[in-house]
Amino acid sequence: MPPLRASGPLHLYVHIPFCIHKCHYCDFNSHEREKPDWQAYQHGLLAELKYWAVTVPFANQHINSIFFGGGTPSLAPPSLIASVIRASGDLFHLDDDAEITLEANPGTVDAGNFEGYRQAGVNRLSIGVQSLNDTELGWLERIHNRRQAIAAYHAGRETGFDNINLDLMYGLPDQPLQAWFDSLQTAISLGPEHLSCYQLTVEPHTRLATSHASRPYPLPDDDLALSFFQQTRQQLQQAGYQAYEISNFSRPGRACRHNDGYWQYHDYIGIGAGAAGKCNTPDGGIIRYSNIRTPERYMATASAEACAINTRESLDSQKAAAEAGWLALRRTAGIERSLFRQRFHRDAWQYFSNQLDPWHKQGMLNVDDRGIRLTENGLPLADAIAASVL
Residue 306 CB, shortest distance to ligand SF4, in Å, is 27
Residue 26 or 322 with smaller CB distance to ligand SF4: 26
Candidate residues 10, 14, 16, 19; the one interacting with ligand SF4 per rule CB under 6 A: 19
119 within 8 A of 82, measured Cβ to Cβ = yes
Using CA atoms, how far apart are residues 300 and 284, in angstroms rounded to an integer?
35
Beta bridge pairs of residue 374: 365
Residue 27 CB, shortest distance to ligand SF4, in Å, is 8
> Helices in the chain by DSSP H: which ranges?
38-53, 78-91, 111-120, 134-140, 146-159, 177-190, 207-214, 222-238, 257-263, 295-301, 317-328, 337-344, 348-361, 382-387
Q: Which segment (24-32, 73-81, 112-120, 152-160) binds ligand SF4 by CB under 6 A?
A: 24-32
Residue 105 or 290 with smaller CB distance to ligand SF4: 105
76 within 8 A of 120, measured Cβ to Cβ = no
Q: Exposed, middle or buried: residue 215 (CB in 10 Å: 0-12, 13-18, 19+)?
A: exposed
Q: How far is CA 195 from the centre of its chain?
A: 12
For helices 317-328 and 348-361, what crossing angle results, to 10°? Answer: 50
Residue 167 or 323 with smaller CB distance to ligand SF4: 167
Using CA atoms, how far apart are residues 91 and 107, in angstroms rounded to an integer?
34
Candidate residues 10, 12, 14, 23; the one interacting with ligand SF4 per rule CB under 6 A: 23
Site for ligand SF4 in 267-286 (CB under 6 A): none
229 within 8 A of 181, measured Cβ to Cβ = no
Residue 317 CB, shortest distance to ligand SF4, in Å, is 35
With b meaning 16 or more CB within 10 Å and e meaning fewer, what string describes 96-113?
eebbbbbbbbbbbbeeeb
Candidate residues 105, 196, 291, 301; the one interacting with ligand SF4 per rule CB under 6 A: 105
Q: Give the C-alpha distances (Å, rounded to integers) separating 171 from 28, 218, 302, 315, 376.
A: 19, 10, 39, 35, 21
Residue 16 CB, shortest distance to ligand SF4, in Å, is 9
Residue 105 or 159 with smaller CB distance to ligand SF4: 105
**x-or-dash pattern for ligand SF4, window 63-102, by CB under 6 A?**
-------xxx------------------------------
Site for ligand SF4 in 30-69 (CB under 6 A): 30
359 within 8 A of 334, measured Cβ to Cβ = no
Size of residue set near ligand SF4 by CB under 6 A: 11
Residue 32 CB, shortest distance to ligand SF4, in Å, is 8
Residue 52 or 117 with smaller CB distance to ligand SF4: 117
**x-or-dash pattern for ligand SF4, window 115-134, by CB under 6 A?**
-------------x------
Candidate residues 4, 22, 242, 332; the one interacting with ligand SF4 per rule CB under 6 A: 22
Q: Which segment (15-23, 56-64, 230-238, 354-362) binds ligand SF4 by CB under 6 A?
A: 15-23
**x-or-dash pattern for ligand SF4, window 289-308, by CB under 6 A?**
--------------------
Candidate residues 4, 7, 8, 26; the one interacting with ligand SF4 per rule CB under 6 A: 26
Phi, psi of 236 (to 5 degrees): -70, -40
- 3-state SS, 344-386, equals HCCCHHHHHHHHHHHHHHCCCEEECCCEEEECCCCHHHHHHHH
Residue 74 CB, shortest distance to ligand SF4, in Å, is 10
88 within 8 A of 94, measured Cβ to Cβ = yes
Question: Does residue 108 interact with ligand SF4 by CB under 6 A?
Answer: no
Which residue type is seen at 250?
A: S
Report the interface residues with ligand SF4, using CB under 6 A.
19, 22-23, 26, 28, 30, 70-72, 105, 128
